[in-house]
Structures are given as C-alpha cells and as structure tokens.
A = this chain, B = another copy of it.
Amino acid sequence: MKVVIIGVGLIGGSFARDLRKVFPGAQITGADHNETHLKRAVELGLIDRPAEDLDLREADVVLLSIPVNGLLKQLSEVLDAIGEETLVMDAGSTKAEICRKVAGHERRRNFLACHPIAGTEFTGPEAAISGLFEGKTNIICEVEQTAFRIQERALELFGKMGMRIRYMNPEAHDRHIAYVSHLSHISSFMLGKTVIEKERNERDIFDLAGSGFESTVRLAKSSPAMWTPIFEQNRKNVLETLDEYIGNLQGFRQLLDSGDYKGVFREMEETNRIGEILNGIPTQKN
C-alpha cells in the first residue's frame, strides 16, 4: 500500500505509526510546509521519505492532516493530482466549509470527509504517538458522496486501527463539535488568560495550582495556528455556544451574588451527571 501524508504532525505522524503496525509493508511518504518537521518525520521513521508529485498519482491513500485553512486551499489541488483509485481523506475539526468547497470537484468521489476525535494538546512529529486512534470515534460526513470502493478501503483501514465510525452531515457535525470541543478550548484559554493576568507573580500559580487547575487549562497549550482557522470556519456555531456558556456563568454569578446557596448547590448537582455521561468516553491509553 502506498500512502502519502500531508502534514506530518501529531495527527499525521500518529496515523503513520498505527498504519505501519496494521500494514507493515506500507510505503509512506510525506509532505509538510515546515522543512524541519519533514526532516524529523523521516528521522523518527514516521515516513520513508518526502513525497514527490508522482506519489500522489500512485497513492492508494492520501491523508491531509493540516490546519483547516490549509485544507480549504490544498484539498482541491490534491484531488487534481491523484490517481483514479486514490482515497483522499482529511482529519479537520470543521466539516461544512470543506465539504462545500469540493462539492463540485470531478474527483469528489475519491474524497472521504473525516474527523477522528483524537489528539493531545501537543503538535509536530515529536508529538506523534502509537495507538492514538484506537477505540476513538471517527466522524465521517457525506459518506454518500464517496465512491463505494473508496469508502471500503477507508473502513478497512479504520477497522484495523480500532476506530469506531459514526456518520453525520457536515452541518450537524460542526454544530455538535462546537459544544463538545471548540467551546472547551475557549473556556480553557480564557481561564488561563484570567489567571495569568491576575497572578503576575507566576511562582504563585506554580505553588498553588493543583491537578484540577492543570486539567482545566490543559487545552490552553493548544496551537493558535490550528485553532484560529477552526474558530473562523465554525464562527456562527462557536458564537452561539459562547453566548450560552457566558449566560450560564452569569446565572451562576447571580446566584452567588444574591446568596442563593441552594441555587448554587442545585446548579452543581444537576451537572454532576456529566460524570456518568463521560464514563462512556474512550480515554487516552498512552
């Protein structure tokens, strides 16, 4: 199997690691606009060598694992360059604009719009880990727009990697993911900002912060280059989730300000069941 990975960072690199396990003979080439990352990906054995133009035409699988603004630009070019039987898939955190962009492309049926719900707050080839996708959900959008044989190849791959598949339309994906992923990142970034602004003496953060704070601001380590275009493409949904979140915080503030501690208690009690809901989430194994 010949595979081209465009963007050899956390996602592309982890995909390469798992691919080598399930298809030991795979030839993996890669591309990255960051020359250092590309070189490092070869050194780490994630890819065999940098990809050349011909590799796209001969590829069985092309994975685009780059920020969603790059995806919007490069996906059409990649579809222009592939062979008739090449599967092209992405791993972008937004789906609607990307699906619209290639809706009329003559190779649309070679493309499978994917969002594997997997990752960490780290970036680059060094962050690539084995087993990142195992037990994780992969959301596939507009599956009916992809040729059946191409779908089949993708599903075989995902199955061997241990991923669970869920089908959605791109608009529903973007709406739901705004809540369970994009909003979490903003809440975490703004929590980090609030504390950094207040605690000018950083030793105080260092000494007083516990694992609870660390867990809540973990996502504030995420890459702005990756997240800015996600918020841009999913702006409308993200604004809606933010308004609801801010409204809930103001509501809690009001209860506390007026001394309604029964109300404060109830707000927390009603949210406790998030624990049961979360028990179903596959956890990171590494």
A residues neighboring B (CB under 8 Å): 117-121, 136-137, 139, 164, 166, 176-177, 179-181, 183-199, 202, 204-222, 224-225, 227-229, 231-232, 235, 238-239, 241-246, 248-250, 252-253, 256-257, 259, 261, 264-275, 277-278, 280-281, 283-284
Which residues of B lie under 8 Å from residue A180 when comparing CB positions? 195, 199, 204-205, 208-210, 213
Q: Which residue of B lies closest to A248 (CB)?
A: B190
Q: Which of B136, B202, B228, B243 contacts A261 (CB 8 A)?
A: B228
Residue of B nearest to A242 (CB): B253
Asked whether B189 lies within 8 Å of A187 as measured between CB atoms, the reply is no
Taking CB atoms, residues of chain B closer than 8 Å to A235 are: 256-257, 259
Q: How far is the CA of A193 from the CA of B198 in the complex (A)?
A: 26
Copies in the complex: 2
Min CB–CB distance A45 → chain B (angstroms)? 25
The CA of A209 and the CA of B184, in the complex, are separated in Å by 10
Bound CA span A58–B78, Å: 79
Interfacial chain B residues near A204, Cβ < 8 Å: 176, 180
* Neighbour of A268 across the interface among B139, B208, B211, B224, CB < 8 A: B224
Contact of A211 among B198, B241, B281 (CB under 8 A): B281
Expressed in whole angstroms, the Cα–Cα distance for A70 and B136 within the complex equals 43
Closest B residue, CB atoms, query A229? B261
Contact between B274 and A217, CB atoms less than 8 A apart: yes
In the assembled complex, the Cα of A176 lies from the Cα of B194 at a distance in Å of 12
Contact A192-B274, Cβ < 8 Å, known A211-B281, A239-B257, A249-B246:
yes
